[in-house]
Amino acid sequence: MPVHCPKRETNVQPTSSHVTDLEWLVSDRFVQVDSNSHYGRFDPRRVRAPGLHAPQSRPLVGRVPSPDVPIWSIMRIAGRLIASLAGPRPRPLPSGMDFAINPVTPAEVPPLLQLVRELAQFERLENELEATVESLQASLFGTRAVAGALLARSGAELAGYALYFFSFSSFVGRAGLWLEDIYVRPSFRHQGLGRALLQAVARIGAERNCGRFEWTALNWNQDALEFYRNLGAQVMDQWVLLRLNSDGLRRLASAEAASPSG
């Protein structure tokens, strides 16, 4: 069933301590996100063009030009003054868009891989991309499928995606939800789509009674980090992410990796 981006936004906060973070995330009572983030809705009332200042309470008073100064020179100076006060002309704001979010189908795996490639380029990690259409097909639709994905479209055009899988926490005692990827194409940002993708994935976790919803973000992507904080996410900076690639995994699994102290 298609998921459409909610057009209503409020600043209402949770009023009950019994409402969990995941339930709050999937509800319609979303916390307002930062308008300057990659994924927040653009609010022109909060953005001022560089160099544009609030109107002064008193009129500008300047030196009266000498009669010997040519009129064209006065006009050029006045034009520069007006331009410096006004700053760069703002670009037209994007109009509201309607998005449909649906589970990916087997036929949509090739365009999904293209979006994954775009995310790798944005994160400057394209050299680490190993996924193929075949590997994604097996992971999403094989007999031992391990992940799920959602595609967002604006009309017939792909706008973004989210990819997730289920984890487990011994402390919580039940499954958790891990967001592996979330990506919105640049031309579709500032329309609330990133938030809608997060909400769609969170709804899956709430339906499965997941105890946690977790993901990572690059430390230089401050816009995304601020967006996530505004959703109520906590930065787990006391933990360090550790990883073995496929070669390291096989070495560790082999007899050669065993040691008396291990």
Average pLDDT over residues 64-73: 48
pLDDT, position 39: 39
- Quick: pLDDT tens for 172-206: 999 999 999 999 999 999 999 999 999 999 999 99
Sheet containing 100-103: order of strands: 3-4, 100-103, 148-154, 157-169, 174-184, 213-215
Residue 14 has pLDDT above 60, yes or no: no
DSSP 95: P
Query: Going from the N-terminus, what domains does the chain have, and what CATH number goes with each?
Result: 3-43+94-249 (3.40.630.30)
CB neighbours (10 Å) of residue 227?
22
Over 90: is that where the pLDDT of 45 sits? Answer: no
- pLDDT(83) > 90: no
Q: Tell me the pLDDT tens digit for each residue of 204-236.
A: 999 999 999 999 988 888 988 998 998 899 989
Of 38, 180, 196, give the one whose Cα is nearest residue 120: 180
Distance from C-alpha of 148 to C-alpha of 139, rounded to nearest angstrom: 8
Assigned token pair, 173: 């005692």
Among 70-74, 160-164, 226-230, 254-258, the range scoring the smallest mean pLDDT is: 70-74
The residues, any chain, with a CB within 8 Å of residue 203's CB and separated by 6 or more, are 3, 26
Residue 138 has pLDDT above 80, yes or no: yes
Q: With H, G, I as helix, E, B as strand and everything else as coil, classify residue 5.
A: coil
For the stretch 110-132, pLDDT in tens is 999 999 999 999 999 999 999 99
Instruction: Look at 45-49, 82-86, 194-198 and tell me which has the smallest mean pLDDT.
Output: 45-49
Contact 87, 52 (CB under 8 A): yes
Residue 39's CB is within 10 A of a number of other CB atoms, namely: 27
Tell me what the mean pLDDT of segment 244-252 comes to.
89
The two most distant CA atoms of the chain are separated, in Å, by 96
**Can you give the pLDDT at residue 260?**
53
Q: Please compute the mean of the pLDDT values over residues 29-38 and round it to a whole number.
A: 36
Q: Spell 159-194 as b/e; 16+ CB within 10 A means b.
A: bbbbbbeeeeeeeeeebbbbbebbbbbeebbbbbbb
pLDDT of residue 2: 58
Does the pLDDT value for residue 257 go beyond 70?
no
89 half-sphere exposure, CB direction, 13 A CA radius? 2
- So what's the pLDDT on residue 38? 39
Most confident of 84-88, 190-194, 242-246, 255-259: 190-194
Distances (CA, A) of 89 to 51, 76, 83, 86: 10, 19, 9, 8
